[in-house]
Chain A
Amino acid sequence: MHMRKSAIERWSKRAGGALALFAGVTLSAVASGPALAEGKQLTLCWAAWDPANALVELGKDFTKQSGIEMKYEFVPWTSYADRFLNELNSHGKLCDLIIGDSQWIGGAAENNWYVKLNDFFAKEHISMDDFVPATVVGYSEWPKNSPNYWALPAMADAVGWTYRKDWFARPEIQSAFKAKYGRDLAPPKTYDELKQIAEYFQGREIDGKKVYGAYIFTERGSEGITMGVTNVLYNYGFNYENPKKPYQMQSFVNSPDAAKGLEFYKELYKCCTAPGLTNAYMQEGLDAFKSGQVAMQMNWFAFFPGLYKDPNVGGDRIGFFVNPAGPKGHFTQLGGQGISVVATSDHKDDALAYIKWFAQPSVQQKWWQIGGYSALKAVVDAPDFPGSAPFAPQFLESMAIVKDFWAEPSYAQLLLDMQKRVHDYVVADKGTSQQALDLLVKDWTKVFKEQGKQVASQ
């Protein structure tokens, strides 16, 4: 009897414990937010890179506030466009929110892949005037320069340069450079200066290691070489079309000045890059710079916070400069993306709630602090912004001189045509720069005609 009683006591204690545990779990679930209890979830799609990790951190605040759990689908850059354009094309439901590339905006708007945000912005008092103009045109508007918004500028970005500040500062390197070129060794302001510096460092031995002058984009498969060469082409006089006659490309894309720019890029590639970088893009550039192989590196600003933190080449060892000017102007290639609500999403309201939350100045401020690049004027125009990071002044300067690739619905065809023509000339030594650009005009004309556009030849 005694045994039986004790067994009953044990069981009742266990049952009591289990009940208490159950009650605790239930209470904590309720306390953590109503939406979590309802199992609300949003999937955000983007590329797998440093800023995406920062966004995951930032998103925790959204979950805390709204109770909506965030799930992420990050894809490496080399398959980012293939993967997500396929998803959008097939009206998939994988993504509720997408941070899509700037060039997708035309196709996304025309094909109704994204939700048009004008009414939402008006209702929530989100004004596009509060964002950096280049990012609004680049990431949100379609047609360009019209008040039709399909995205909120999410991640401002452009091409910039990093250099080995510690090497540049060495007295023996400084004096040898001055003796050779008659000027001080400093971050280049023009492409001619950049080439000179790159030639100077090419093959030089530093700390017992052979180093190379510059790292530039040469990737063939996705967008690499185009995103690299345009930084030179724009500054040599290349234009996508006649500003007065849309889609008239003859003498703008293939002008003699543009041909000179393409020739210059090839010369830079031949004279001053590390061997074997014939198909190299962002990651290869980071590897080359981090391993102390190159003196200067072309890459996206998005990577600069990570490079600055690098224990081997970051801190005092790294410097940043804006894409150098050319004989015909001073521009740089726009990168970055806007955030959009996918039209096929079953959770559009929650996705819009995320955008509303993301647009808040306090959130944008934090976004910049943890490694993202805000496009909100309140953040970037703040007096303390230039001093907030060593690359902040160059970022600001770059965002004022950006130009972007075509954002037409047929952008993928236009991009792949340019990849082919430029890579054929620069890396595979096929034909002349003029022939490459002439063929590019021919390719692009065909694409636009297929799209039903009127293409004037003169």
Chain B
Amino acid sequence: MDKMTTIPHPDQARIVGIGELGKVHTRTRAAKRARGLSDRTMAWLFVAPTIALLLAINIFPLVWMIRLSFTSLNLSMSYLPLRFVGLDNFSDILSDEDIWIRLQTTAQFVIASVALQVVVGFGLALLINRRFRGHSFWTTIILLPMMLSPAVVGNFWTLLFQPQIGPFNYLVSLLTGVPPSSFSMTGEVALASWTIVLVDTWMWAPYVMLICLAGLRSIPDYIYEAAEVDRASSWRQFWSITLPMTVPFLMLAVLFRAIENFKMFDMVNLLTSGGPGSTTELVSITLKRAAFEKWRTGYSSALAIILFVTVFGAVNIYVKALNRVKQR
């Protein structure tokens, strides 16, 4: 009997007594479990660690930050009672003239740097797309800046721009005759904003070039052959074939670079610390100062949410536009 009930096969349940039936069913389920988990359970098991990680390091901090944004928490004065302040932090931020200036500075930086990177990156892609001697070597050289750490880039450009010993000023002096120590790229209001645009472009135009190159390489040759047959000029081919067919790639590059530049911090912090005065203080620097130097946790949480919503909204609109372009 024992031997029979231990065999986990449903057919064998028929030959056992009624009292034993329950036991057999239980053992059968256990046997099933031992044999293998269902697909659904397996799927959950595989996904669970990722979900747990996501909850722990993304969702929980986000929810916590939203909660903090409605409080007066200041970590440098944590002995003060925590007060619920409703939307005060948000209204403080949105009515603060300085924040609007910082947002304008950020927008100017994003627009100028992305525009320049698209022009330079696309130009480089057109150049690299042609086969010439040393093509691979030059491609590698062009890609080098984007492989560097922003901290390294910030530090060595600071040295290059040094008015007394920096080679950049000497180069400008050689070309224009202006004394090298008569101007400071990072220290003058008129130049500092352009300086960060210049360095960012130097670093990231190769990235735009890579994306554009992928676009250029995806255009089938027969289209150009047909244009040749129709005796279309190179200029016409560029406007009618190359540019329209790479626009989705360009838009993608603009999207990636705009998001990155909106949260730009490290390089600008090293180059100018937001100065002179507040000339190059991007909103990310303001946020860092509010959160980790002034310790205004409630206020900075609210600012972070405002920035998140702004970027999220802008990106959504942009992605819809991108999809429309791709469908055309």
Contacts and interface: CB of A to CB of B under 8 A. Distances in A.
Interface of A: 81-82, 85-86, 89, 107, 110-112, 219-221, 274-279, 293, 409-410, 412-413, 416, 420, 423-425, 427-430, 450-452
A82 B292 contact: yes
Contacts of A86: 292
Contacts of B182: 275
B212 to A, nearest CB: 36
Contact of B275 (A220, A275, A416, A425): A220
Contact of A275 (B72, B74, B78, B184): B184
Given A275-B163, A412-B294, A424 B277 contact: yes
A110 B77 contact: yes
A276 B162 contact: yes
Contacts of B75: 89
24 contacts: A220-B275, A220-B277, A221-B269, A221-B273, A275-B182, A279-B187, A409-B76, A409-B79, A410-B74, A412-B76, A412-B294, A413-B294, A413-B296, A416-B289, A416-B294, A420-B278, A423-B276, A424-B278, A427-B275, A428-B278, A428-B279, A430-B277, A451-B77, A451-B80
Contacts of B162: 276
B295 interface: yes
B276 A427 contact: yes
Nearest to A81: B293
Contacts of A221: 269, 273-274
Interface in B250-301: 269, 272-279, 289, 292-296
A420 B274 CA distance: 10
A86 B294 CA distance: 11
A278 B276 contact: yes
A82 B292 CA distance: 7
Given A412-B293, A430-B277, 17 more contacts: A86-B292, A107-B77, A111-B77, A221-B273, A275-B181, A276-B181, A276-B184, A278-B275, A412-B294, A412-B295, A416-B294, A423-B276, A424-B278, A428-B189, A428-B279, A450-B74, A451-B77
A291 to B, nearest CB: 9
Interface string B227-263: 0000000000000000000000000000000000000
B150 to A, nearest CB: 17
A57 B212 CA distance: 59
A440 to B, nearest CB: 13
A263 to B, nearest CB: 16
B64 to A, nearest CB: 15
Contacts of A409: 76-77, 79
B275 A423 contact: yes
Interface residues of B, number: 34
A107 B79 CA distance: 9
B277 to A, nearest CB: 3
Nearest to B162: A276
A278 B187 contact: yes
B294 A89 contact: no
Interface in B188-246: 188-189
**Which of A86, A219, A221, A275 counts the most chain B CB atoms within 10 A?**
A275
Nearest to B295: A412
Interface string B289-328: 1001111100000000000000000000000000000000
Contacts of A430: 277
Contacts of B78: 89, 111
Q: Top 5 closest A-B pairs, CB basis?
A: A428-B277, A278-B187, A276-B163, A424-B277, A221-B273
Nearest to B161: A276
Contacts of B184: 275-276, 278
A273 to B, nearest CB: 11
Nearest to B179: A275
A448 to B, nearest CB: 11
B28 interface: no
B37 to A, nearest CB: 42
